[in-house]
Amino acid sequence: MSHPSTSRRAALIGLAAVLIGSTVACGSSASSGTGGAPRTGGTVSVGFDNEPTTLDPAFSSQISSDRSVLNLFYDTLLRQNRDGAFVPALAEKWEAEPRALTFKLRAGVKFHDGTPFDAQAVAANINRVLDPATKSTKTSALAKVATVQVVDDTTVRFNLKDPDPLLLVQLAHEPGMMVSPAALKAKGDEYGRNPVGTGPFTFDQWRSKVQLTANRNTSYWAEDASGNQLPRLEKVVVRFITEPKVLRTEIATGGVQLVRALPPEEFAQLASDRQVTMDDIGVRRAYYVALNTTRAPFNDPKMRAAFTAAVDRSAIGKVAAADQFDLAPSFATKSDWYHDDSITSPSFDQKAAKAAVTTPTSITVLARRRAPDPTIAELLQAQLSDAGFTVKSEVLELQTQLDRMRKQDFDAAVLVVDVPRLDPSLVFDPYFTSKGSNNWSGLNDKTLDDVLSLARSTDDKTVRGKAYGDAQRRILDQRYWTFLHQAKSPLIRRTALQGVVLNVDGQWRLDEAYLDR
């Protein structure tokens, strides 16, 4: 069984039937040209508020942003369109069996360092992620891969421990990004700052907290629909700008042509600017508070319940998202196929919260030094103080905050993740499984592990939907997190920038992008 038609892709490991249920707007491109042939050349500057900690996809952890940068340098064996369909990339075709997946690779592709991309390189990449000594954040995504067999230079076979209905999804994302084995060996621990892939752009320079630059890969394997070689741009500059007001000014004046995200109070000021286009692509920024369940006070379910009851989510959304938000009980958006109207959020009940806080309880709320996170922390501080908590907020740089959270050195922390995802496993598993890469709360909940494992193990949409409903109810019943609001997050670009290709979660590829004037 191979991939040659969209209808037959639906049979691939039974996966597409699950994925196509999403009703988020389809189509791979967020923009189209004005009629002439796309132009080549030019430099696009991007305003980016989330500087990666590494450019090694085996260790990426900022799942709401890293891929937009990684897509400059890396390709995967296959790609997944916004409608859920899989299309060839480094693999020209593939065949699926219940416990095996065989890829036929594109011949003649080279890594940026000139070394060949072949079956041996694929095996080296996957084995590296699977090796416990690597300590990759992506190991669990490929857990059902038993061995990777090199059949010949352009054929590689994945032998599976059990059927894996989500393997293609994982291989189309960071776990399947191909890095140069030679570069890994040459660069060692410095590889994460010196990426070498097969992608549309080659790495030039990374100046921390300033910018990252990438140049056109003149030997890129891909062509557009007219047979013209990609990418079209000569250079991409990713400028690391964390202050939203500065980002808004830069996009308004043309200092950057694309921004990753802006809070609603900032993008609302661009509404009348004809030089700026804002596309509501269905992406929402889901803000939440993770509670540390490994130590007091939030190792006590009653105190977690008191925290949640004290929080007026609507009031926070009105201030922090300028009334441009949705309320939802979890990560699920209204457009997600697994959205369940019967699942409701815990009620705001200040009286119940006060009754539960019977002894002096001091907590610290961590927040990132970027709007609106400090504002959210201040609002939480006021609401929780009214319920009897003694609260202080601590505003940190992102990496410092994440380091504290990975060590469970916190009480409560405000963070955000972009939703929806092409599969709910990509957002629930990292945060709520015991071995999840972003298990900030230190959960070790066998009931939750089992239900999320069930959801991953089948392609039956009914079974999966029920499992994700059960998982959400368990998370809410235990009050592991307090889900706040989902702020609207349009794609914001200069109107002259065309051809930006989007994933369903709003992360982009620039291999087809061009400047229209």
pLDDT at 11 over 50: no
Q: How many residues does the chain have?
A: 517
Provide the pLDDT for residue 25: 29
For 22-26, 174-178, 409-413, 435-439, which range has the lowest pLDDT when averaged over its residues?
22-26
Select from 293, 290, 297, 485 the least CA-distant residue to 389.
297
Share of the chain above pLDDT 90, in %: 83
Helix (H) or strand (E) holding 125: helix 119-130
Number of helices and strands in the chain (H, E): 16, 23
* Band (32; pLDDT cuts 50, 70, 90): very low
Place of tokens 């991409």: 236
- Give Cβ neighbours of residue 147 (< 8 Å, ≥ 6 apart): 158, 159
The pLDDT tens digits for 227-268 are: 999 999 999 999 999 999 999 999 999 999 999 889 999 999
Q: What is the mean pLDDT of the chain?
A: 91
pLDDT at 1 over 50: no
CA-to-CA separations, 496 to 247, 499, 513, in angstroms, rounded: 18, 10, 10
Alpha helix positions (H), 177-226: 181-187
For 2-16, 89-103, 265-279, which range has the lowest pLDDT when averaged over its residues?
2-16
Select from 173, 151, 93, 105 the least CA-distant residue to 430.
173
Helix (H) or strand (E) holding 466: helix 461-478
CA-to-CA separations, 24 to 28, 328, 337, in angstroms, rounded: 12, 16, 9
The pLDDT tens digits for 472-493 are: 999 999 999 999 999 999 999 9
Average pLDDT on 144-156 reads: 98
Provide the pLDDT for residue 22: 28
CA-CA distance, 227 to 247, in Å (whole number)? 36
pLDDT at 23 over 80: no
CA-CA distance, 478 to 460, in Å (whole number)? 27
The pLDDT tens digits for 266-313 are: 999 999 999 999 998 889 999 999 999 999 999 999 999 999 999 999
Domains and CATH numbers, the chain: 1-30+76-186 (3.90.76.10), 37-74+199-283+490-517 (3.40.190.10), 284-488 (3.10.105.10)
* Band (4; pLDDT cuts 50, 70, 90): very low
Q: Which of helix, strand or coil describes residue 110?
A: strand
